[in-house]
Amino acid sequence: MHLDLITMEEFKKGLRRTKTLLIPFGTVEEHGRHLPLGTDTLIAVEVLRRLQERRKVFVAPPLHYGVCTSTRLHPGTISITPETLRRLTLDIVRESFRKGVRNFMLVSGHGGGLHMNALKETAEILVEEEKGIRIAVVSPYELLWKELSEIAETENDSHAGELETSVMLALRPELVKGRSKEEYPSFPKPLVVRDKLRYWPGGVWGNPTKADREKGEKVIELILDRLIEILDMLED
């Protein structure tokens, strides 16, 4: 049940079947020269749409903006601060809790460190504040790193690379505009640098030329299976 597509009466009836809300988080962020700026959002939304077909749950409209650090200077990236993400998430979950929802899965298509930390910090606040609330904060790339790396031919594949391009080929092939060349960032760790474009001009981490639809479908099924496992934990 998608919250933005049901009436208040349908919401009330829905609460008799489920007290679980899935919230997709994405970004407006560069994904190389071949993938759309909304890639993270599109993937999160589509995966939860498929999950909703298998289980009775509420699905919230996506939060299209996230915290982007390494890609903040790239053309098209529109980042928000961790504080903004925390405040938005707090308000959305608190209001949903007041309306009768008790279980929350925050599913992020973006795996950036500050972004995920903001969501996890918010969950910590909420479990202390609201008695009876249950929350899972999920980035499929964090949970399934080993399994996903077995699908990829590219070692250390990541942002806009082989697997993310494969998933977009499976979900929205018409939005994939060719392939960017293989690239990896060269940040001088542990230094934090201001001009990140200097060290990562193309915004790709991996080899998109090795992407294909079949790999994308495998990735999606892996993610769905793991999300269903987490859903069972939430609702147990």
The pLDDT assigned to 104 comes to: 98
Question: What pLDDT was estimated at residue 191?
Answer: 87
CB 139 within 8 A of CB 67: no
Kindly report the CATH class assigned to 3-235.
alpha beta
Distance CA 195, CA 232 (A): 44
Q: pLDDT tens across 15-66, in order?
A: 999 999 999 999 999 999 999 999 999 999 999 999 999 999 999 999 999 9
Q: How far lies 218's CA from each of 6, 147, 171, 235, in Å?
A: 31, 10, 12, 26
In this model, does residue 141 exceed pLDDT 90?
no
pTM metric for this prediction: 0.94
Residues 119-134, mean pLDDT to the nearest whole number = 96
What's the farthest any 2 CA atoms get from each other in the chain? 56
For position 122, what pLDDT does the model report?
Answer: 98
